[in-house]
Chain A
Amino acid sequence: MSNKFSLRKVFSPETLFFLVVLVLAICLRIYRLNQLELFGDELDVGYQAYSLLKTRKDYRGNFLPVYLESFSESRAPFFIYSAIPFVAIFGLNEWGIRLTSAFWGILDIVFLYLLVRLIEKDKKVAMWAALIMTIIPWHLHYSRAGFEVTLLLFLILAGTYAFIKGLMKKTIWFSGAAICFALSFYTYNTANVFTSIWIIILLFVFRFELKTQLVRLVPALAIFILILIPFSFSIFRGPAVSRFKLISIFSDQKLIEQIILKRSADPQNLTERFFHNKLFVWSKVVLKNYLTAFSPQFLFFNGDPNPRHTVPGFGEIYIILLFFLLSGILVSLEKESKKPNIWLNWLLIAPIASALTVGGGEQATRLFLMVPPLVVLIAIGIEKISAKIKGIFLVIVIMILTYSLVGYFHELTKHYPQEQFRYWHFGYKEAINLVNENESICRNYFLNNSHEPILIRYLFWTGTDPNWFLNNFKDDKENQTTNGFSNFSLGNVFFGHLIEENRLEGVKRILAEPGNCYLAFQKDEIPGDWNIEKEPIRGIKVLGLVKAPGNKDPYIYLLGGLR
């Protein structure tokens, strides 16, 4: 009787509430998804996915690579592979790249809901958790841009869910957990530290349950090791750790300089060596970063100092939720259970990987795995308080949350694109489109490469065939000079910069040759605020102009000669 299909169960208030949350999550994540231009990393993801789709090779020619080789660094592959279907359906544009993140972001919410239901055995807490994750700036922001972290979070949530299911049900769940955890290593570098510790914690927390079913873990362990074999080769060969070497505090030259400066006060004195040394400075920085991740300034007021990672003026979480977070932590600490609290443990280990990197204490991307425990603790807090104070309390909370969400979303969709466009490498899409539109006029293009690397932008926005690119591309080092323009070339396009001091003269010289076109930047080749569209330069024709959003000042010009 109890297994009988029942419409009442399907349309229970919980299910309906969850569906509403899901619809809200989808709307918030896809509304005006294309309003900001794609920045460098997103373009890289897109063109790599496109290249894999068309040639089964990354754009540097490696066949189905374990780590993808980009122009500037090696990239973890899983997010890029997962973007292939989206690029195939929507093409090389904002939707093709960002829908990948939005898709994984929505699955994050689904799996958080399932996991909380499984662990807390409380539907209301699970519902609150799903709602909070849907609306907090931290998760919302990252679900709307081509960052790998929403996929990483999905793998950790799904892996944990499968692991706990495995304890109760079939062995196959353990294999699912092993696949998810192993794939997380291929998604984002934070996983190398976090997943390793997280697996140990899960094994420790559920050690009594696992004692009797160790044999069931063997196939999962085999799968885990099998998937990680190529990864371990990448570690030894370098690509898997190359990014960490770049950003880690252990290779931060500034810290070494600090030590030298301090020691130079009295170089002969041994106490200087005792108090100012690498071990001490590193430990201090790691601790500082770790604690900064929990600071109210980061979480509730200012967020990540990089405007690409946070909308300025907003924290990662709405300030109103602070009270619920504290109450959730207290409730979790008070809970009488023989098991260590899974959310508190998660919260404590989540910032470790980021703490090892320069500026890692406020780097919202690397700290993204803090989101689920924070959200669940907030949900526990809300549920606890709302159980005590009913009625008006809930109305007030929902009103304030609505206000916070509307205020944040208004800022995100209206003012943020106007004010922070430079952080999203604005202008290149329109500029490359100008290049496309003027193909009939221009025989050779000279593209200024000294602001942001323009090659990947050119490839992406022109939709260059990856097969053609692989056959024609030699190197992206500026190893030749044409008309005083140090460059590397691809077909009839020269990427580089003018050598001489007087750039405008250089531009004039290049454009004196018929058929040459030049992509110039305001305040670089075009001095000061000179609007050469309104006050033209002799011998130069403005073929197209990209204006800055907001004040509509000239930003990038496509210039041609008059002859």
Chain B
Amino acid sequence: MKARRMNLSIIIFILLFLMSPTPWTLLFNFSRLSKAEINFYKFNSPVFISEINFTRGQIKEAGIAIYGKIFINKFTYFMKDAGQRYLESFDSHFLFTQGDLSIEKSTRNSGPIYWIWLPFLGYGFYLCYKNRSKILVFVLLLPILGILIREEYETFSRLPFIIGMYYIVGLGVTEFFNKKKYYWTKALVLILLVFEYSRFLHYLLLHYPYLVGRY
């Protein structure tokens, strides 16, 4: 029974990911994106170092230079920046509203995850946490890849994370649809999914080509 449910959740997860905006948008612009360069994050960027020097100067001016030496150095600065970049992956603007900042990797009309999946994402996370599932730790580690790329809110480096998030959504959806009540809510979810999906396709096929200069 447990194995069947697991299989079902994997099928649902694959289905949900394939219906999501990300693969469609990336395929739509495949020819352009395949030529794009990858810019890696530079730990020794001059901007980075000048910011450290500037902040240290301010702290020295305030008469607490020792604090500046302990807390403002390449390591702590990188950690803060890395933390900010890590958390970008969980930003609602990235996940639900707009997605990637590049118009070629997102329609900018929706993020990689449809709004309708938000409650299921929360529910999925709760289930993983309750069952102390290792997959949760794995998914939480995946945004680290996003730190390595210079562009902020970048999709390619966050693709494994988006897939992981869909896996968690899948868990939530499977668990919810296996319950023997809430028929009306289930029907509503399906209607909203159809609406979200058709809205996305409508935008992708009718409005998006103008934005990326396909017409």
A interface residues (Cβ-Cβ under 8 A, vs B): 262, 265-266, 271, 275, 280, 284, 287-288, 291-292, 294-297, 300-301, 319, 322, 330, 333, 400, 403, 406-407, 410-411, 414-415
Interchain CB contact under 8 A, A265 and B207: yes
Secondary structure call for the A interface = helix
Tell which of A265, A300, A406 touches B64, judged by Cβ atoms closer than 8 Å.
Answer: A406
List B54-68 residues whose CB lies under 8 Å from chain A. 58-59, 62, 64, 67
Q: Give 22 A-B contacts (CB < 8 Å), ordered by A residue.
A: A265-B206, A265-B207, A265-B210, A275-B199, A287-B115, A288-B96, A288-B97, A291-B92, A291-B97, A291-B118, A292-B92, A295-B90, A295-B91, A295-B92, A296-B84, A296-B88, A296-B90, A296-B91, A301-B84, A403-B67, A410-B58, A410-B59
B71 within 8 A of A: yes
- In the complex, how many residues of chain B place their beta carbon closer than 8 angstroms to a beta carbon of chain A? 29
Residue of A nearest to B79 (CB): A319
Interchain CB contact under 8 A, A295 and B93: yes
Interface string of B183-199 (1 = CB under 8 A from A): 00000000000000011
Instruction: From known contacts A265-B207, A292-B92, infer whether A300 and B87 are also in contact, taking CB-CB under 8 Å.
Output: yes
Residue of A nearest to B90 (CB): A296
Residue of B nearest to A313 (CB): B55
Secondary structure call for the B interface = helix
Interchain CB contact under 8 A, A297 and B67: no
Query: In the bound complex, how far is the Cα of B80 from the Cα of A265, in angstroms?
Result: 44
Interchain CB contact under 8 A, B64 and A292: no
Tell which of B62, B71, B80, B87 touches A297, judged by Cβ atoms closer than 8 Å.
Answer: B87
Q: Which residues of the other chain, B, contact A406 by a CB distance below 8 angstroms?
A: 62, 64, 67
Interface string of B34-75 (1 = CB under 8 A from A): 000000000000000000000000110010100100110000
Interchain CB contact under 8 A, B58 and A288: no
B interface residues (Cβ-Cβ under 8 A, vs A): 58-59, 62, 64, 67, 70-71, 80, 83-84, 87-88, 90-93, 96-97, 115, 118, 126, 129, 198-199, 202-203, 206-207, 210
Query: In the bound complex, how far is the Cα of B55 from the Cα of A415, in angstroms?
Result: 12
Query: In the bound complex, how far is the Cα of B91 from the Cα of A300, in angstroms?
Result: 12
Q: Which residues of the other chain, B, contact A280 by a CB distance below 8 angstroms?
A: 199
Q: Which residues of the other chain, B, contact A301 by a CB distance below 8 angstroms?
A: 84, 87
10 closest Cβ contacts across the A-B interface?
A291-B92, A296-B87, A410-B62, A295-B91, A288-B97, A275-B199, A275-B202, A301-B84, A403-B71, A295-B92
A286 CB, nearest partner CB in chain B, Å: 11
Query: In the bound complex, how far is the Cα of B59 from the Cα of A485, in angstroms?
Result: 49
Instruction: From known contacts A403-B71, A406-B64, infer whether A333 and B80 are also in contact, taking CB-CB under 8 Å.
Output: no
Query: In the bound complex, how far is the Cα of B207 from the Cα of A415, in angstroms?
Result: 46
Q: Which residues of the other chain, B, contact A414 by a CB distance below 8 angstroms?
A: 62
B61 CB, nearest partner CB in chain A, Å: 8
Interchain CB contact under 8 A, B202 and A271: yes
Q: Which residues of the other chain, B, contact A322 by a CB distance below 8 angstroms?
A: 87
Among B64, B80, B210, which residue has the most Cβ atoms of chain A within 10 A?
B64
Query: In the bound complex, how far is the Cα of B114 from the Cα of A287, in angstroms?
Result: 12
Interchain CB contact under 8 A, A292 and B93: yes
Q: Which residues of the other chain, B, contact A415 by a CB distance below 8 angstroms?
A: 58
Query: In the bound complex, how far is the Cα of B196 from the Cα of A284, in angstroms?
Result: 11
B119 CB, nearest partner CB in chain A, Å: 11
Interchain CB contact under 8 A, B206 and A266: yes
Query: In the bound complex, how far is the Cα of B199 from the Cα of A355, in angstroms?
Result: 23
Interchain CB contact under 8 A, B96 and A333: no
Q: Which residues of the other chain, B, contact A275 by a CB distance below 8 angstroms?
A: 198-199, 202-203
Further 20 A-B residue pairs, CB within 8 A, beyond A291-B96, A295-B93, A296-B84:
A265-B207, A271-B202, A275-B199, A287-B115, A288-B96, A291-B97, A291-B118, A294-B92, A295-B92, A296-B88, A296-B90, A297-B87, A297-B91, A297-B93, A319-B83, A322-B87, A330-B129, A333-B129, A407-B67, A411-B58
Query: In the bound complex, how far is the Cα of B210 from the Cα of A297, in angstroms?
Result: 31
Q: Which residues of the other chain, A, contact B87 by a CB distance below 8 angstroms?
A: 296-297, 300-301, 322
Among A271, A291, A292, which residue has the most Cβ atoms of chain B within 10 A?
A291
Query: In the bound complex, how far is the Cα of B118 from the Cα of A279, in angstroms?
Result: 19
A258 CB, nearest partner CB in chain B, Å: 11
Instruction: From known contacts A295-B93, A296-B90, A403-B71, infer whether A262 and B84 are also in contact, taking CB-CB under 8 Å.
Output: no
Q: Which residues of the other chain, B, contact A288 by a CB distance below 8 angstroms?
A: 92-93, 96-97
Among A288, A301, A406, A407, which residue has the most Cβ atoms of chain B within 10 A?
A407
Query: In the bound complex, how far is the Cα of B91 from the Cα of A295, in angstroms?
Result: 5
Instruction: From known contacts A407-B59, A415-B58, infer whether A333 and B92 are also in contact, taking CB-CB under 8 Å.
Output: no
Query: In the bound complex, how far is the Cα of B64 from the Cα of A414, in angstroms?
Result: 14
Among A271, A297, A333, which residue has the most Cβ atoms of chain B within 10 A?
A297
Q: Which residues of the other chain, A, contact B115 by a CB distance below 8 angstroms?
A: 284, 287
Q: Which residues of the other chain, A, contact B83 by a CB distance below 8 angstroms?
A: 319
Q: Which residues of the other chain, A, contact B203 by a CB distance below 8 angstroms?
A: 275
Query: In the bound complex, how far is the Cα of B49 from the Cα of A555, in angstroms?
Result: 34
Query: In the bound complex, how far is the Cα of B84 from the Cα of A547, in angstroms?
Result: 38
B118 CB, nearest partner CB in chain A, Å: 8
Query: In the bound complex, how far is the Cα of B125 from the Cα of A333, in angstroms?
Result: 12
Residue of B nearest to A296 (CB): B87
A468 CB, nearest partner CB in chain B, Å: 47
Q: Which residues of the other chain, A, contact B67 by a CB distance below 8 angstroms?
A: 403, 406-407
B95 CB, nearest partner CB in chain A, Å: 8
Q: Which residues of the other chain, A, contact B93 by a CB distance below 8 angstroms?
A: 288, 292, 295, 297
A38 CB, nearest partner CB in chain B, Å: 26
Query: In the bound complex, how far is the Cα of B76 from the Cα of A407, in angstroms?
Result: 15
Query: In the bound complex, how far is the Cα of B80 from the Cα of A203, in angstroms?
Result: 43
Residue of B nearest to A410 (CB): B62
